[in-house]
Structure 1
Amino acid sequence: MTASTQPVPPTAAPLRTLRLSLVPPLHPPLTGPAVALVDPTTPPPRPPHRPGPRPAPEGPRRRRPDLFAPAWSVRADLPDPRATGRLLFTTVLEALAGRRPLSQVQRLASPGVHAALVAGRRPVWCAAGTAPLLLGPVHVCEPVDGVAEVSAVARRAGRAHAVAARLEGIDGRWRCTALSIG
């Protein structure tokens, strides 16, 4: 074995040895009674709003005879929300494209949603062009009994657009109470 004695290049730094030193804590250790970190006079924060179950309906027809207002329906009395969502999305998109009158949406939507569709602007991607509107599969989420949130992807001329709605069971059928077209 041959040992070579080549000089160390000047750019290499010499090795340093590490030294461990203990640093005393900045604060003395806690002794004595526990300290309250929360002011007891401050009320706790409110939990986020989560809709709960609706009140139980009354009677065989699920409404009181003295009230003529619409009655909430339970999920067992309602049809498939996926089929209703597909019908709603198809009707709304065809109405916004000018292929059917907006009055056909009225039976599927609440008065506020229908009024917003009549008064609002039509999305350019929906109103312009002759390419067919293709609606993808409808996804359903039921957060509460008698409420369904449906969404789908609408495609036109190679572009994808999100469509979502909230359906509520009223008088034994689904009614759209909120609609979003992206």
Structure 2
Amino acid sequence: MSAPSPTTPAAAAAGPHALDLVVVPTPQPPLQDERIPVRLVRPGVASPRPAHRPGPRPRSGRPDQLDDFGPVLSGRADLPDAHLVARRLVTLTLEALAGRRPLSQLQPLTSPGVFAALSAGRRPRWCAHGMSPLIVGAVRVCEPVDGVAEVSAVARRAGRAHAVAARLEGVDGRWRCTALQIG
């Protein structure tokens, strides 16, 4: 049987492992979303936070502001069919890792970080060894946010199934793989 927990604050503080709660004020002002007109924000009501989108910044769309020359996020209406691009990405990646196609063909489809990881030379043993054909089975695509697609696929080789997962983001009017996991 365990000992009863102390019920008073003085008894709790007297224990050998007492915890102190320290409230630290935030040094930044509260977040104000520029997309929400100020007249819609009521006093005392926090404005909704924008969805986190790593990578390039969206264009402002206002003629009085100059846009930088970097990559621009694209919405779903400006992008091709995510399912076709996902199947192509999974197939090309597995063929490149198996040595049947050059890795340089993946560069336009992937972010610099993903391409560097693929070029590092670490390949799944099941993908790099053997001559049995690689078969890409069902490819599933989910679009949780406008301009983002999450992909899962099943690849089969020599009677074994392996999982492939990727994240596609719309950049400059085309899908680009920003995360890839091959199991």
- Same fold, judged at TM 0.5 (above): yes
Is the CA contact (8 Å cut-off) linking 2:95 and 2:101 kept in structure 1?
A: yes
Alignment match, 1:3: none
Provide the rounded CA distance (Å) in 1 between the counterparts of 2:120 and 2:177: 17
**8 Å contact from structure 1 (residues 53, 144) kept in 2:** no
Question: Would the alpha carbon gap of residues 53 and 117 (structure 1) be closer, same or farther in structure 2, given more than 3 Å must change?
Answer: closer
Q: How far apart are 1:177 and its partner, in Å?
A: 0.2
TM-score (norm 2): 0.67
Between structure 1 and structure 2, the one with the greater Rg is 1
- The answer for the alignment partner of 2:91 in structure 1 is 90
Aligned length in residues: 135
Distance verdict in 2 for CA 1:155–1:76, change over 3 Å: same
CA distance in 1, matches of 2:114, 2:105: 13
Between structures 1 and 2, the one with greater helix share: 2
One-letter amino acid of the counterpart of residue 122, structure 1: R
Alignment pair present for 1:73 and 2:74: yes
Gaps of 5+ in 2: 1-20, 25-48
Identity %: 69
- Deviations 1:152-171 (Å, cap 9, x if unpaired)? 00000100000010000000
Q: SS at 2:138's partner residue?
A: coil
1:114: which partner in 2?
115
Which TM-score applies when normalising by structure 1?
A: 0.67
Matching residue's letter, 2:51: G
Displacement of 1:52 after TM fit?
Answer: 1.9
* Cα distance, 1:90–1:66 mapped onto 2, change above 3 Å: same
State the superposition RMSD in angstroms.
2.4
Contact residue 153 and residue 163 of structure 1 kept, 8 A: yes
Who is 2:168 aligned against? 167
Please give the alpha-carbon distance, in whole angstroms, between the structure 2 residues aligned to 1:130 and 1:51: 48
Partners of 1:161 and 1:137 in 2: how far apart?
12
Partners of 1:166 and 1:177 within 8 A in 2: yes
Match of 2:144 in 1: 143
Tell me the residue number matched to 2:60: 58
Question: Which stretches in structure 1 are left out of the alignment for 5+ residues?
Answer: 1-39, 44-49
Conserved 8 A contact 2:58-2:72? no
User: What is aligned with 2:37?
Assistant: none
Pairwise CA distance, 1:66: 4.3
Distance in 1 (alpha carbons) for counterparts of 2:182 and 2:87:
14
Matched letter for residue 71 of structure 1: V
